[in-house]
Structures are given as C-alpha cells and as structure tokens.
C-alpha cells in the first residue's frame, strides 16, 4: 500500500485553509503520494502537531493573525528538529524576501494560483519523500 503524505495547513482563516486544500487537491502531482491535510488555526496547534511528528510539509499563511506564517516559519525552523519543508503563502510577490528571512523553502502569493500551489507543494513532497511513489 502506498504511503500517504501529511500536510499541515496553518491559517486563522477557514477560507484560506479550504483554498489550499482545493488548489492542491488529494494528489498535487502524479509522482507524489496522496495527501491528508491537518488544519491548524493557532500557533499552539501548529507546535503541538509538529511535536507529535508525522508531518511531511507545512503550508503557512503569512497573512494570519495574531501570529503570521512568516514568524511561525522562523520559529519552527529554530525549534523543531528535522522541521518539515515550508510553503509560505505571502500577501504579494514583493514579500518573497521576508520569506527568505523566515527560511521557507517555497512561496506562493495571494490570490492563490492552483497550478502554482500544487506544483510548489509537490516539489516539497518530492524532496521530503524521494522514494514515496
């Protein structure tokens, strides 16, 4: 049986979390495993899920409040051993330099382009799970 990838999606906005799930779909690309999503609306929920483990990639909303995804990314990169790769959703393409500061592996700007989001997530999963499929 094929392994399923777990993707943590952090945003305080339920619509943003839904957009991520719908854009990437159950399988972001044919050569990566099917994805199960773990939705988190708060920083404590993100930290708790990452401490438990089993997360293959994170999608963090840089526009979340009160704790934005860029700060969350920087924090988890500092605090979580073998932190999963992060796809950061940014407010505008010009914010990409801030994503570099946060140490995110990839960015996608709002409004979300489903093809770009799926391709970016698939690339992170390929890197994290090179022999999964």
pLDDT at residue 113, as a whole number: 96
Of the candidate ranges 13-27, 54-68, 88-102, the one whose mean pLDDT is the lowest: 88-102
**CATH number assigned to the domain covering 5-128:** 3.40.50.2300
**For residue 31, what is the DSSP state?**
T
Please state the three-class secondary structure of 2-13 as a single string.
CCCEEEEEECCC
Query: Which among 15, 85, 83 is positioned nearest to 47, based on CA atoms?
Result: 83
For 22-51, the pLDDT digits (tens) are: 999 999 999 999 999 999 999 999 999 999
Segments making up each domain of the chain, as ranges: 5-128
**pLDDT at 98 (0 to 100):** 87
d(Cα 127, Cα 114) in Å, to the nearest integer?
20
Mean predicted confidence (pLDDT) in 103-110: 96
Q: 14-24 and 114-128 helices cross at what angle (nearest 10)?
A: 70
The distance of Cα 126 from the centroid of its chain, to the nearest Å, equals 14
Structure tokens at 23: 């854009």
Beta strands 86-90 and 57-61, pairing class: parallel
Is residue 100 helix, strand or coil?
Answer: helix
């Amino acid at each position: 049986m094929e392994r399923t990838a777990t993707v943590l999606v952090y945003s305080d906005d339920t619509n943003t979390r839904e957009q991520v799930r719908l854009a990437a779909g159950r399988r972001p690309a044919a050569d990566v495993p099917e994805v199960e999503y773990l939705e988190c609306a708060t920083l404590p929920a993100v930290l708790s899920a990452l401490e438990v483990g089993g997360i293959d990639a994170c999608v963090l909303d840089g526009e979340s409040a009160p704790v934005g995804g860029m700060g969350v990314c920087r924090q988890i990169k500092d605090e979580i051993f073998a932190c999963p790769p992060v796809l950061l959703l940014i407010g505008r393409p010009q914010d990409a330099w801030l994503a570099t500061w946060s140490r995110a592996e990839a960015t996608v700007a709002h409004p979300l382009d489903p093809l770009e989001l799926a391709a970016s997530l698939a690339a992170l999963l390929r890197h994290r799970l090179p022999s999964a499929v």
